[in-house]
Amino acid sequence: MVVVPLTTSNEMQARQMPKGVPETVESARGKLVYLFLQFHEGATLDELRDGLDLQRITLFSVLKTLEERGVVDRDGETYVTARPA
């Protein structure tokens, strides 16, 4: 029996290796949230809360700052890293 991978090794590595955090993200929590969103290709507030074990009020503050700095966008209930201009 031949097993065919759904993705190539390079595609998996590219998905698993975050591209980095923009210089405008200074706080440790901001970097953590940004990298989580980047790795998971977006997340809801509940997914962030469960995945990072942070309180909602903390996440609201961090996400607001990231949105104001233009590095995170909101698409409905999902937060995503902003695409470079």
Q: One digit per residue, pLDDT tens: the chain, 85 residues?
A: 555 555 555 554 545 545 789 989 999 999 999 999 999 999 999 999 999 999 999 999 999 999 999 999 999 999 999 976 5
Tell me phi and psi for residue 78, to 5 degrees: -105, 135
Q: What is the pLDDT of residue 1?
A: 52
Q: What is the pLDDT of residue 20?
A: 84
Burial of residue 32, with CB atoms counted within 10 A of its CB: 0-12 exposed, 13-18 middle, 19 or more buried: middle
Q: What is the DSSP letter of 27?
A: S
Amino acid at 54: L
Q: Give domain limits for the chain.
A: 26-81
Q: What is the pLDDT of residue 47?
A: 98
Q: What is the pLDDT of residue 27?
A: 94
First to last CA, the chain: 47
Query: CATH for 26-81?
Result: 1.10.10.10
